[in-house]
Structure 1
Amino acid sequence: MFKRSTLSLGGTALCGALLASGCANHLQQRSEHEERVERKLLDHTLQVDIGEPKSLELPQRRIRIHEQKTFEVTEFEVTRNYDRYTPYQPWRELYEVPLGAVAIVAGVGANILNVFMLGHLPDSVTKDWIDNGVAGINPFMNIQSHGRAQQNLASIDEVQRDRRTESTSLPWSERPVEVQAGTQSYTLTTDRSGVLRLSLLDSPFAEQDLSHVMRLRISVEDDQDNVRSDISLPISGSLRGKLLEAHALIYDDLEDDDVSQWVHRVKRLSELGLEEEASELEQSLIELTHNDPELQKQFLKSLTRDAGRLVADPQASN
């Protein structure tokens, strides 16, 4: 009695487990294809071009900075294969069993008809109807359903298509540059083209006495790849001797001076060989006298007579 009840309980449990788990109805495997590119950094350098001449003879200098990288580029063709299946749901057997029986009968009829049609009926009628019918009457399997299909990654296949070396050269665009002048160090920024516009008569150098500074040390660094480049830009002795006087000519108060002193400033900057600074000061004084046409005319006349400079009268274009 005990043995019989034990066997009955075991059989019930086994049937329950089969009904609960069921069998997944496997569908056709699906594949996805894509291309993958790997870039391995081989070399990374920063190049600082201080231009010509190698020593600083004028207060201004445009310094170009480029970042060069060399990569090993490998291209792969990747195929991902997925196993697809219809998950088992026991409650669907309530309607799949009768539908399965109908599908088997219809499939057998279609195969008989296909004999007379010389095999012209598609497999979706002659074969799939029978397969779905068998799955339908199987209490442990559902009929295939693409709408309920799930998938698992089965394998990944990679095939190398190409391997090559690529180099890039990009401007050090809007990035920091450290400039050391004697004991002072300043952080400047390049423009979008990777050009550092250096002027010893502008801030922050204008506030420093550079008469005893022999050279500027220019440094750029990429912390991410721990790449650094340093270069020295000597300052010529003649330029160092001009900076203090040029600074006073440019930045000392203009409004307390008369026209002759303005002309003297422009003329003296030109004599020092600082023609760009002379032209900028000249333009600033013309703008300063914009609201006083008589004073402006007197200034322009003195520039031509006493400094030998050819300046267009801004009033003539109005």
Structure 2
Amino acid sequence: MFKRRSLSLGCTALCASLLVSGCANHLSQRSEHEERVERKLLEHTLQIDMGEPKTLELPQRRVRIHEQKTFEVTEFEVTRRYDRYTAYQPWREIYEIPLGAVAVVAGVGANVVNVLAFGQLPDSVTKDWINYGVAGLNPFMNAPSHGRAQQNLAGIDEVQKDKRIENSSLPWNERPVLVKSGTQTHELTTDRNGVLRLSLLDSPFAEQDLSHVTRIYFSVEDDQDKVHANADLPISKLLRGKLLEAHSLIYDDLEDDEVSQWVYRVKRLSELGLEDEASELEQSLIELTRNDPQLQHEFVKSLAKDAGRLVADPGAKH
């Protein structure tokens, strides 16, 4: 009695398994191919180029900052394989069973003709029609349909094609730089070329007494990779002695001065070796007198006579 019941349960389980597995009509596998590139960061450094000379002799300096990265680059060819099948839908048997019978008959006829034609007919006629017909006649399986096909990922194969080392060097463009002068720390920003334009006679340094500051310190950091770099720039004693006087020559009130005082300021900046600052002040004063051609002409004439600076007179007629 027990053996008979066990045999009955076993047959039921086998039939159920066949029924479930037979519901899906498996199609040919489909493959997808693509290339994948894997980049592994090996080294990341920041470099601050202070330029020459090593000691700051003039109030202006261009500091260049760039970051260097070293990558291990690996290229893979990836193949994804998909199992495809036609999901079972019972209501389709209404039309698939009669169509299957027709397909079987047509397939048998095609095979007969193929024998007479010495095997010249394609497999899509001799075999596929019969396969379609058998699946259509099976009440527990739909006929194969590429239009209704579903798929599951069957496996992924990766083949390494290439492996190399790549280096990159990019400017630290439009990124913050901490600059410490004495007890004060300022946050400045580089331009798009990674250049920090330092001027000790411009804000924020113009408001600070730098006569006792012997070095300026620079610091940059990449928060993402926790990479940082530091550098310092010594200030010459001669330049520190000039800064206070140069600041007065540039920023003291100009409008109440006589033309002779304007000329003296430009001439004195030039004598201090600050030619860039002298030219900037000279152009600022020419622009200031733009609405007073007579005063402007007097200033340009005095520059040539008392300071030996030849400037084209903007008001002169050609």
TM range, smaller chain: over 0.9
> What's the counterpart of residue 114 of structure 2?
114
User: Could you tell me which amino acid in structure 1 is paired with residue 309 of structure 2?
Assistant: R
> What's the counterpart of residue 94 of structure 2?
94
Measured against aligned partners, the alpha-carbon deviations of 1:165-216 in whole angstroms (never above 9, x if no partner) come to 0000000000000000011000000000000000000000001100000000
Which residues in structure 2 correspond to 1:169-208 (within 5 Å)? 169-208=169-208
Residue 27 of structure 1: SS of its match in structure 2?
A: strand
> What's the counterpart of residue 8 of structure 1?
none
Tell me how far 1:23 sits from its aligned partner: 1.6
Change (3 A) 1:94 1:14: farther
Residue 211 (1) aligns with residue 211 (2): yes
Measured against aligned partners, the alpha-carbon deviations of 1:46-95 in whole angstroms (never above 9, x if no partner) come to 01000000010000000000100000001111000000000011111111
Q: Percent identity?
A: 79
User: Could you tell me which amino acid in structure 1 is paired with residue 226 of structure 2?
Assistant: N
> What's the counterpart of residue 128 of structure 2?
128
Whole-angstrom CA distance in 2 between matches of 1:163 and 1:47: 27
Query: Does the CA contact (< 8 Å) of 1:21 and 1:88 recur in 2?
Result: no
Residue 55 of structure 1: SS of its match in structure 2?
A: coil
Residue 311 (1) aligns with residue 305 (2): no
Measured against aligned partners, the alpha-carbon deviations of 1:111-164 in whole angstroms (never above 9, x if no partner) come to 111112222211111110000000000011100001100000000000011111
> What's the counterpart of residue 52 of structure 2?
52
Query: Does the CA contact (< 8 Å) of 1:20 and 1:90 recur in 2?
Result: no
Tell me how far 1:19 sits from its aligned partner: 7.0
> What's the counterpart of residue 61 of structure 1?
61
Residue 299 (1) aligns with residue 275 (2): no
User: Could you tell me which amino acid in structure 2 is paired with residue 50 of structure 1?
Assistant: M
Residue 232 (1) aligns with residue 244 (2): no
User: Could you tell me which amino acid in structure 2 is paired with residue 191 of structure 1?
Assistant: D
Residue 40 of structure 1: SS of its match in structure 2?
A: strand
> What's the counterpart of residue 32 of structure 1?
32
User: Could you tell me which amino acid in structure 1 is paired with residue 123 of structure 2?
Assistant: D
Whole-angstrom CA distance in 2 between matches of 1:283 and 1:123: 91
Whole-angstrom CA distance in 1 between matches of 2:200 and 2:33: 59
Whole-angstrom CA distance in 2 between matches of 1:251 and 1:61: 20
Whole-angstrom CA distance in 2 between matches of 1:96 and 1:87: 14
User: Could you tell me which amino acid in structure 2 is paired with residue 151 of structure 1?
Assistant: Q
Residue 109 of structure 1: SS of its match in structure 2?
A: helix
Change (3 A) 1:172 1:79: same
Which residues in structure 2 correspond to 1:219-298 (within 5 Å)? 219-298=219-298
Residue 315 of structure 1: SS of its match in structure 2?
A: coil
Q: TM-score, normalised by structure 2?
A: 0.94
- List gaps (5 residues or longer) in structure 2: 1-10
Number of equivalenced pairs: 311
> What's the counterpart of residue 77 of structure 1?
77
Residue 260 of structure 1: SS of its match in structure 2?
A: helix
Whole-angstrom CA distance in 2 between matches of 1:230 and 1:54: 15
Whole-angstrom CA distance in 2 between matches of 1:21 and 1:30: 20
Residue 174 of structure 2: SS of its match in structure 1?
A: coil
> What's the counterpart of residue 162 of structure 1?
162
Q: TM-score, normalised by structure 1?
A: 0.94
